[in-house]
């Protein structure tokens, strides 16, 4: 593979019309930041090791860029039957999977510097990675990311610019119809605490208008009408002290049914919950009960395990993907649940049997725990409330015991018919007697 990496570096340098020394000088500006990305990397006092480190960074970065560029199908100067850098390369799927392994991550700063020297914008690298992993559906700008795995994770969770714009407009319209245009700082702070508690915001994001900005950034954040209603109901609206608001926002006593185990998809279907596909493919776009379309292929387990590990180990990475996988594990127990979700267009199975998909989701969540205040807690509570209603419990009982077998249905209809005839006969007998 080293031979192919050298070929990729040579082709990249040739196309950019720059020398290796030029790129090394560019990376030398961020050398300390690159070294800080690696654990226990000590090159002090070792002559020539700094240059060797930068050369390794350049070689790895050029190889990744050439692989992704080749996958786009553009003219790249390689022969059509090239074993690595061609559209017919059999090894590309394996490289695509290995690029997401946590131990193989190369700092995105390397790719940004290489492309910047080629007069390209940083965002082009992000979009190239999203395209490489079939996640390029008009995603919003990501800014600088940590590595390819970070871009992949954000691509799974982010909405397209169109869907995000529509959701922002709906949120603003809700406020404009019932609340003053100026967002009350108290409501802003209370809503921010709730979103942080639910893991909906990440460290380094920014909230609010220019006058109300903090060190947190979230371009699509706007308190909704429900946020104002919650603020009034809890007595937050009108408070003048931040400590009072924080006290009010402390977790309350856990409700009796808050942590009920979520039933499987087939049981939820029996209880009258119909599954539908979400409008977007973002793993955060889950409501009661709409789920995003997901492709389950041979690389699914490896890719998602690496993302879940990254979310667990990296502070501030949030747990959006882990929450989704645990939710899917809750509603998938066996092949019947997978068959139901596949019939509704939610799961696209390309690994074989439905049983294999069920085992895959169940294996992903072994010994994986998540805080109760995850981003899907509200959806889980809605499901529990629906299933605990008496009429829905009776409906599920009827579906499970009487309405699955056609012969059982016929016998139930015959029983009801005979019972009705018996009542009519009794009524006529009583009328004749009197």
pLDDT in tens, 404-430: 667 666 776 788 888 888 888 888 887
pLDDT score at 187: 58
For residue range 111-123, what is the model confidence (pLDDT) as tens digits? 999 988 545 568 8
Lowest mean pLDDT among 86-95, 135-144, 203-212, 249-258: 203-212
Burial (0-12, 13-18, 19+ Cβ within 10 Å), 341: buried
Output the 3-class SS for the chain.
Answer: CHHHHHHHHHHHHHHHCCCHHHHHHHHHCCHHHHHHCCCCCCCCCCCCHHHHHHHHHHHHHHHHHHHHHHHCCCCCCCCCCCCCCCCCCCCHHHHHHHCCCHHHCCCHHHHHHHHHHCCCCHHHHHHHHHHHCCCCCCECCCCCCCCHHHHHHHHHHCCEHHHHHHHHHHHHHHHHHHCCCCCCHHHHHHHHHHHHHCCCCCCCCECCCHHHCCCCECCCCCCCHHHHHHHHHCCCCCCCCHHHHHHHCCCCCCCCCCCCCCCCHHHHHHCCCCCEECCCCCCCCCECCEECCEEECCCHHHHHHHHHHHHHHCCCCCCHHHHHHHHHHHHCCCHHHHHHHHHCCCEEECCCCHHHHHHHHHHHCCCCCCCCCCCCHHHHHHHHHHHHCHHHHHHHHHHHHCCCCHHHHHHHHHHHHHHHHHHHHHHHHHHHHC
Question: What's the mean per-residue pLDDT of the chain?
Answer: 77
Residue 372 has pLDDT above 90, yes or no: no
pLDDT score at 349: 93
CA distance 101 to 279: 30
What is the residue extent of each domain of the chain? Answer: 2-153, 161-248, 265-391, 402-433
- Exposure on the CB side of residue 178, measured as CA atoms within 13 A: 11
Residue 229 has pLDDT above 60, yes or no: no
Residue 357 has pLDDT above 60, yes or no: yes
pLDDT score at 305: 95
* Section 90-102 average pLDDT: 92
Residue 144 has pLDDT above 80, yes or no: yes
Q: How confident is the model at residue 141 (pLDDT cuts 50, 70, 90)?
A: confident
The answer to whether 311 and 352 are in contact (CB under 8 A) is no
Q: How confident is the model at residue 146 (pLDDT cuts 50, 70, 90)?
A: very high
pLDDT score at 214: 39
Lowest mean pLDDT among 45-54, 72-81, 166-175: 166-175
Q: How confident is the model at residue 347 (pLDDT cuts 50, 70, 90)?
A: very high
Percentage of the chain beyond pLDDT 90 is 32
Sign of the alpha-carbon torsion through 250, 256, 261, 262: negative
Residue 337 has pLDDT above 90, yes or no: yes
Please name which of 256, 232, 146 lies closest in space to residue 184, comparing C-alpha atoms.
232
Residue listed under structure tokens 């954000």: 154
pTM of the model: 0.73
pLDDT score at 270: 81
pLDDT score at 209: 42
For residue range 266-323, what is the model confidence (pLDDT) as tens digits? 888 888 888 999 988 899 889 888 999 999 999 999 999 999 999 999 887 888 999 9
> Which of the pair, 53 or 203, is modelled with greater confidence?
53
- Rounded to 5°, the CA angle 95-97-102 comes to 110
pLDDT score at 117: 54
> Which of the pair, 24 or 122, is modelled with greater confidence?
24
Q: Which residues are CB-contacts of 379 (< 8 A; sequence separation ≥ 6)?
A: 286, 287, 288, 289, 327
CA distance 215 to 170: 26
pLDDT score at 255: 47
Q: How many residues does the chain have?
A: 434
* Section 135-159 average pLDDT: 85
Burial (0-12, 13-18, 19+ Cβ within 10 Å), 328: buried
pLDDT score at 340: 93
CA distance 351 to 365: 19
Lowest mean pLDDT among 270-284, 296-310, 365-379, 385-399: 385-399
* Section 187-207 average pLDDT: 57
């Amino acid at each position: 593979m080293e031979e192919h990496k050298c070929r990729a570096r040579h082709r990249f340098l040739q196309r950019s019309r720059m020398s290796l020394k030029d790129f090394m000088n560019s990376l030398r500006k961020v050398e300390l930041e690159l070294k800080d990305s690696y654990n226990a990397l000590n090159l002090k006092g070792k002559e020539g090791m700094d240059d060797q480190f930068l050369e390794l960074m350049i070689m790895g970065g050029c190889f990744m860029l050439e692989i992704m560029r080749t996958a786009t199908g553009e003219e790249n100067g390689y022969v059509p039957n090239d074993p690595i850098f061609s559209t017919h390369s059999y090894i590309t799927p394996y490289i695509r999977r290995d690029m997401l392994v946590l131990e193989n991550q190369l700092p995105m700063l390397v790719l940004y510097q290489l492309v910047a020297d080629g007069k390209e914008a940083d965002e082009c690298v992000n979009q190239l990675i999203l395209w490489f992993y079939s996640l390029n559906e008009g995603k919003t700008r990501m800014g600088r990311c940590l590595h390819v795995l970070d871009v992949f994770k954000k691509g799974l969770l982010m909405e397209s610019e169109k869907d995000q714009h529509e959701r922002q407009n709906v949120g603003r319209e809700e406020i404009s119809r019932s609340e003053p245009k100026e967002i009350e700082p108290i409501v802003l702070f209370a809503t921010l605490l709730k979103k942080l508690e639910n893991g909906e915001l990440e460290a380094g994001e920014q909230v609010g208008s220019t006058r109300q900005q903090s060190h947190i950034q979230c371009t699509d954040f706007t308190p909704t009408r429900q946020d104002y209603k919650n603020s009034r109901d809890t007595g937050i609206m009108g408070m003048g002290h931040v400590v009072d608001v924080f006290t009010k926002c402390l977790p309350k006593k856990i409700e009796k049914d808050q942590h009920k185990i979520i039933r499987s998809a087939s049981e939820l279907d029996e209880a009258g919950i119909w599954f539908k596909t979400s409008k977007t493919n973002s793993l955060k776009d889950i409501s009661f009960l709409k789920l995003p379309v997901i492709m389950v292929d041979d690389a699914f387990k490896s890719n998602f395990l690496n993302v879940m590990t990254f979310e667990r180990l990296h502070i501030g990475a949030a747990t959006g993907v882990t929450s989704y996988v645990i939710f899917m594990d809750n509603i998938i127990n066996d092949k019947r649940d997978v068959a139901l979700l596949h019939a509704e267009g939610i799961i696209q199975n390309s690994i074989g049997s439905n049983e294999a998909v069920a085992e895959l989701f169940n294996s992903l969540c072994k010994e994986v725990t998540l805080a109760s205040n995850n981003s899907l807690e509200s959806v889980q509570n809605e499901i529990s409330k629906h299933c605990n209603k008496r009429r829905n419990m009776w409906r599920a009982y009827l579906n499970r015991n009487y309405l699955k077998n056609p012969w059982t249905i016929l016998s139930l209809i015959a029983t009801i018919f005979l019972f009705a005839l018996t009542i009519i006969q009794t009524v006529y007998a009583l009328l004749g007697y009197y």
